[in-house]
Amino acid sequence: MKVGFTTSFPMEVVVGAGHQAIDLNNIFVLNNSQELVANAERKGFPRNLCSWIKGMYSTISSFEIDEVIGIVQGDCSNTHSLMAILKHEDTQVIPFSYPYYREYDLLNEEIERLEKHYNTNRDKTKRIKEKCDTVRKKLIELDRMSWQDGLVKGIENHLWLVCSSDFNSNIQQYSEELDDFIKSAKSRKLKKAKYRLGFVGVPPIIPDLYGFLEEKGARIIFNEVQRQFSMFYMEEDIVNQYLRFTYPYTLEKRVEDINKEIELRELDGIISYTQSFCHRQLDHLLLKKYLKCPILQLEGDQPGKLDERSKIRLESFLEMID
């Protein structure tokens, strides 16, 4: 089966059971995203609803997804309603929750519930996790090459890490392509970036942001949530791995992780990205307060190009850093 999911979750269970795990966000944003949003709006999805939700909804029918795992706790407040609509349209939906209190037993129960649903077991899940971890080790190296060696562009770092949520639904192929990329990046020279930036918040719906910044001499060398998707923790136990994932829980651990990376990567500034109509916009209020770095809030709405107003704001931010 093609099993779609709404944000990173223990995909090892689904793959271990012999199915294809597909991150709906990646399929949406890397394909005809404007048309997918328009399609949902034609079906009545409101204008003032986050574009990712509309995009994921259309992706499910356009890409013939058989079943959807909706992360109903720890991700998006809209997922409950999206699942209700999908269920009404006869799509099989399975809820998955990250426990608010980040407790081992509660998360373990959620993973066991998934294993039961897919008629699999922890041994099979573990075998896939080990396979994924060999690829994740390579992603740690790619990320290190971004901030320490200056050999990887911001957009490349973003794409490799964001796609590691499902390894483009083919772990082996992803791993081989990653080997090729790392090998070629090691033997090239990139212009040194004048400004070292971080990007925090949900991945952007306007990926040309990275290219625009490179033109201005700035490079994103830290992609916070995308890096979290790559599960770089190397925990032996799958439950511990997903307990260390900072995105679904409270903001404190995110702040701790970001501040650590600000220092390690010697960042000059942070772009705090928010999506229009997203409840996570509120996180920015606290990030602004607790991050030890100059910070610019940037908002994206529809998929597409960076708008002129955002370009001016980014240029002013770089001038301010100067």
Give min distance, CB of 279 to ligand SF4, in A: 6
Nearer to ligand SF4, 24 or 135 (CB): 24
In the bound complex, what is the minimum distance in angstroms from residue 206's beta carbon to ligand SF4?
Answer: 13
Judged by CB under 6 A, the chain residues 77 through 106 that form the site for ligand SF4 are: 78
The pattern of x and - marking residues 105 through 144 that bind ligand SF4 according to CB under 6 A reads ----------------------------------------
- Residue 73 found at the interface with ligand SF4 (CB under 6 A): no
Site residues for ligand SF4, 269-298, by CB under 6 A, read: 275, 278, 280
User: Cβ-count burial of 161 within 10 angstroms (0-12 exposed, 13-18 middle, 19+ buried)?
Assistant: buried
Q: Is 166 helix (H, G, I), strand (E, B) or coil?
A: coil
The piece of 70-78, 181-189, 228-236, 296-304 that touches ligand SF4 (CB under 6 A) is 70-78
User: Which of 76, 93, 111, 171 forms a contact with ligand SF4 (CB under 6 A)?
Assistant: 76
10 or 204: CB nearest ligand SF4: 204
Q: How far is the CB of 273 from ligand SF4 (least distance, A)?
A: 9
Question: Minimal distance in Å, beta carbon 302 to ligand SF4?
Answer: 12
Length of the chain counted residue by residue: 322
CB atoms under 10 Å from CB of 54, counted, come to 26
225/239 with CB nearer ligand SF4: 225
Where in 187-216 is the site for ligand SF4 (CB under 6 A)? 202
Number of residues that bind ligand SF4 (CB under 6 A): 10
Q: Which amino acid is at 35?
A: E
Return the residues of window 15-54 that contact ligand SF4 according to CB under 6 A: 50, 52-53
Task: Identify which of residues 61 and 121 has a Cβ nearer to ligand SF4 in the complex.
Answer: 61
| Other Cβ atoms closer than 10 A to 92 | 14
Cβ burial, residue 90 (10 Å; 0-12/13-18/19+): exposed
| Residue closer to ligand SF4 (CB basis): 50 or 135 | 50
Could you please report the per-residue DSSP string of 71-126? EEETT-TTHHHHHHHHHHTT-EEEEEE--TT--HHHHHHHHHHHHHHTT--HHHHH
| Number of Cβ within a 10 Å radius of residue 183 | 9
> How far is residue 228's CA from residue 301's CA, in Å, rounded to a whole number?
23
Q: Which residues bind ligand SF4 (CB under 6 A)?
A: 50, 52-53, 75-76, 78, 202, 275, 278, 280
